[in-house]
Chains A and B, each alone.
Chain A
Amino acid sequence: MTATSTANNQEQVSAVRTLTLGGAINAGLRAAMERDPKVLLMGEDIGALGGVFRVTDGLHKDFGERRVIDTPLAESGIVGTAIGMSFRGYRPVLEIQFDGFIFPAFDQITTSLAKLHYRTQGKLTVPLVIRVPYAGHIGAIEHHSESPEALFAHTAGLRIISPATPQDGYDMIQQAIASPDPVLFFEPKARYWDKGEVDSTRVTAQLDGINGASKGTAEMSRARVAREGSDVTLLAYGPTVRLAMQTAVAAAEDGVSIEVIDLRSISPFDYETILASVKKTGRAVVVHEAPAAYGTGSELAAHIGEHAFFRLHAPVMRVGGFHTPYPGSKFEHEYLPSLDRVLDAIDKVMAH
Chain B
Amino acid sequence: MAGIGPLSEEGLVRLLDHTGTRVADERFGPYVEHLTVEDLRGFWRDMMLTRAFDNEATSLQRQGELGLWVASLGQEAAQIGSGRALREPDYVFPSYREHGVALTRGVDMPSILRVFRGLEHSSWDPAAHSFHIYTLVIGAHTLHAVGYAQAMDWDGLVGSGDPTKDGAVICYFGDGATSQGDVNEAMVFASVNTAPIVFFIQNNQFAISESTTRQSKVPLAQRAVGFGIPSVRVDGNDVVAVHAVTRWAMEHARSGAGPVVIEALTYRMGAHTTSDDPTRYRSSADEDYWRERDPIARVETYLRGLGELPEDFEASVLAEGKEMGRTTREAVRSWETAPVSSMFDHVYAEPHSLVDAERAWFTTYEASFADVEAK
Instruction: Determine which of B125, B148, B355 lies in contact with A85 in the assembled complex, contact meaning CB atoms within 8 Å.
Output: B148
* With A77-B188, A81-B147, A269-B354: A104-B181 Cβ-Cβ less than 8 Å: yes
- Complexed CA–CA distance, A179 and B348 (Å): 10
Name the one of A85, A104, A111, A159 contacting B352, with C-beta atoms under 8 angstroms.
A159
Supposing A84-B150, A121-B120, A122-B349 touch, asked if A268 and B354 sit within 8 A by C-beta, the answer is yes
> Pick the contact of B147 from A80, A89, A118, A157 — CB < 8 Å?
A80
Q: How far is the CA of A269 from the CA of B355 in the complex (A)?
A: 11
- List the A side residues contacting B352 at CB < 8 Å: 159, 181, 221, 267-268
List the B side residues contacting A125 at CB < 8 Å: 349
Known: A80-B144, A88-B155. A217 touches B189 (CB 8 A): no
Q: Select from chain B the residue with minimum beta-carbon distance to A179.
A: B350
- 1/0 per residue, CB under 8 A from B, across A150-182: the answer is 000000110100000000000000000001110
A 108-139 binary contact with B (CB < 8 Å = 1; else 0): 10011001011111111100000000000000
Query: In the complex, what's the smallest C-beta–C-beta distance from B295 to chain A, in angstroms?
Result: 30
Determine whether the beta carbon of A119 is less than 8 Å from that of B121.
yes
Contact with A along B113-152 (1 / 0, CB 8 A): 0000000111001110000110101001111111111111
- B331 at the binding interface (Cβ < 8 Å): no
**Within the assembled complex, what's the spacing in Å between the Cα atoms of A82 and B126?**
17
List the A side residues contacting B149 at CB < 8 Å: 84
Q: Please tell me which one of the listed residues B151, B152, B189, B349 contacts residue A74 in the complex, with CB atoms under 8 A apart.
A: B189
**Is A71 interfacial (CB 8 A cutoff)?**
yes
Residue B186 at the chain A interface, CB threshold 8 Å: yes
Q: Is B347 an interface residue (CB 8 A)?
A: yes
Closest residue of B by beta carbon distance from A157:
B347
In the complex the two chains form, is A84's CB within 8 Å of B144's CB? yes
Judged by DSSP, the binding face of B is helix
B277 proximal to A (CB < 8 A): no
Distance to closest chain A CB from B338 (angstroms): 10
Q: Are the CB atoms of A267 and B346 closer together than 8 Å?
A: no
B368 to chain A, nearest CB (A): 18
Contact of A119 among B133, B140, B348, B354 (CB under 8 A): B133
Centre residue among A66, A88, A104, A124 by max chain B CB count within 10 A: A88
B348 A81 Cβ-Cβ under 8 A: no
B350 touches A214 (CB 8 A): yes
In the bound complex, residues from chain A placing their C-beta under 8 Å from that of B154 are: 66, 90
Query: Residues of B contacting A197 with CB < 8 Å?
Result: none
Residues of A within 8 A of B143 (CB): 76-77, 79-81, 83-84, 108
CB of B350 within 8 A of CB of A218, answer yes
Residue numbers in B under 8 Å from A107 (CB-CB):
137, 140, 182
Contact status of A77 and B127, CB under 8 A, knowing A90-B151, A121-B120: no
Q: In the complex the two chains form, is B349's CB within 8 Å of A180's CB? A: yes
Q: Which residue of A has the minimal Cβ distance to B192?
A: A72
- Is the pair B140, A117 in contact by a Cβ cutoff of 8 Å? no
Q: How far is the CA of A157 from the CA of B345 in the complex (A)?
A: 11
Q: Mark B335-370, 1 if CB is under 8 A from A, else 0.
A: 000000000011111111111010000000000000
Q: How many chain-B residues does the 8 Å CB contact rule pick out?
A: 44
Residues of chain B with a CB closer than 8 A to A272's CB? 353
Residues of B within 8 A of A322 (CB): none
**Contact call B122/A119, Cβ cutoff below 8 A:** yes
Write the nearest CB–CB distance from A43 to chain B, whole angstroms.
Answer: 13
B292 CB within 8 Å of chain A: no
A271 to B192, CA, bound (A): 46
Please tell me if the beta carbons of A217 and B140 are within 8 angstroms of each other in the complex.
no
Given contacts A81-B189, A85-B148, contact A111 B351 (CB under 8 A): no
Assess whether A87 is interfacial by the CB under 8 Å rule: yes
Contacts of A117 in B (CB 8 A): 346-349
**CB nearest neighbor in A for B169:** A84
**Is A85 touching B147 in the complex (CB atoms < 8 A)?**
yes
Tell me if B276 counts as interface (CB < 8 A to partner A). no
Shortest Cβ gap from A306 to chain B (Å): 11
A270 at interface, CB cutoff 8 A:
yes
- Assuming the contacts A107-B140, A119-B122, asked whether A85 and B150 have C-beta atoms less than 8 A apart, the reply is yes
| Nearest CB of chain B from residue A345's CB, rounded to whole Å | 26
A residues within 8 A CB of B151?
84-85, 87-90
Extra inter-chain contacts (13) besides given A83-B143, A85-B151, A87-B144, CB under 8 Å:
A72-B188, A80-B143, A85-B147, A119-B122, A121-B120, A122-B349, A124-B126, A157-B347, A180-B350, A218-B351, A269-B354, A271-B353, A272-B353
- Enumerate the 4 nearest inter-chain pairs by beta-carbon distance, A residue then B residue, closest first: A80-B143, A84-B147, A81-B147, A77-B185
Chain A residues near B (Cβ < 8 Å): 66, 71-72, 74, 76-77, 79-90, 104, 107-108, 111-112, 115, 117-125, 156-157, 159, 179-181, 213-214, 217-218, 221, 267-272
| A-B CB contact pairs (8 Å), 16 listed | A72-B192, A74-B185, A76-B143, A77-B143, A81-B143, A84-B147, A84-B148, A84-B150, A84-B151, A87-B147, A88-B152, A112-B135, A120-B121, A122-B349, A157-B347, A157-B348
